[in-house]
Amino acid sequence: MEGLRYRTHQSGKALPRVGWIGSGVASSLPFPAAGRHCDDSTSTTSNIVISSYVPTIRALIHARGRAMDVSSYTGYEHKILLGTMEITPGEPPLHGVRAEADAVKSVFGIECRVSHQKQTNAEAVLRLFPSNDMFHFAGHGMSDPVDPAESCIIFEKSDGASTPMIQDRLEVDRLFEANLQPAFLAFLSACSTAQNQQDVLADESIHLASGFLVAGFRHVIGCLWPSSDEVCVDVAREFYRALNITDGKGVKDEALARAL
């Protein structure tokens, strides 16, 4: 921060924004949490700047060039695709998913259109992306330690009427190929959605969050590590409350980072 001449925050002024691009294993460091967390110290990154992670300069330019900007729209109605997987084949149940869905829908109110897809498949979600500008997923995520392009969020599907449901994975490489209509926000409330465990490819920042960014989402919220089911509910609720998304105006870019 001192190198950027950001030492303290002057009261009454907006916090400057910083985009962090990590190298190697540093790409998974919690940059926004850096600082002295003792006594009443304000010498922390979160008190001085608003932080965002950037996979690469190229990915940032690509996303900014394709993605929609609704910050100047008056009376803009956000259209939210809410995908939830309380029960996932082969994975432990997530009892907080229902509460998270209820919290998200209650915050949005009646001024935003919410399409809630429960226990659905990956193809159905991909088909609905073009008609929505925001996507919130609550369920299981997985970071592949061998091939990060196989990292995924997990839905379900059936091979036939008499067979049990099986996992249907929406992987990073499918997102790279999707070439979706530009959208505004993807909130991936699942484990390891911004984690790359492949040391050899650590500099490539290949994970679900970067996949959604390349696919056309202007902003993506993910998790660097395995996440707590209960904590996900609270984070989602407070994040959307802070956005004040039902005020009849499009959300400004800086409001997203500030809310998080």
Helices and strands: H and E segment counts in the chain:
8, 10
pLDDT score of 67 = 52
Specify the 3-state DSSP secondary structure of 106. helix
pLDDT score of 50 = 84
The structure's pTM equals: 0.88
Backbone angles phi, psi at 117, to 5 degrees: -105, 105
pLDDT score of 74 = 47
Which of 180, 93, 195 is closest to 138 using CA atoms?
93
pLDDT score of 156 = 98
Digit-coded pLDDT (tens) for 48-72: 888 888 888 887 777 666 655 555 4
Tokens of 215: 């696919």
pLDDT score of 2 = 63
Helix pair angle (208-215, 57-66), 10° resolution: 40
Digit-coded pLDDT (tens) for 13-28: 778 888 888 877 777 7
Residue limits of CATH 3.40.50 in the chain: 62-259
pLDDT tens track, the chain, 260 positions: 666 667 666 665 778 888 888 877 777 788 888 887 777 767 788 888 888 888 888 877 776 666 555 554 445 678 899 999 999 999 999 999 999 999 999 988 766 789 999 999 999 999 999 999 899 999 999 999 999 999 999 999 998 766 789 999 999 999 988 877 778 899 999 999 998 887 777 777 789 998 998 888 888 999 999 999 999 999 999 999 888 765 556 677 777 877 88
**Cα 94 to Cα 92: distance, rounded to the nearest angstrom:** 7
CA dist list (Å): 119 to 153, 155, 221: 13, 7, 22
List the strands of the sheet with 79-84, edge to edge: 113-118, 79-84, 134-138, 183-189, 217-221
Domain range 62-259, CATH class: alpha beta
pLDDT score of 4 = 65
Q: Are 115 and 132 in contact (CB under 8 A)?
A: yes
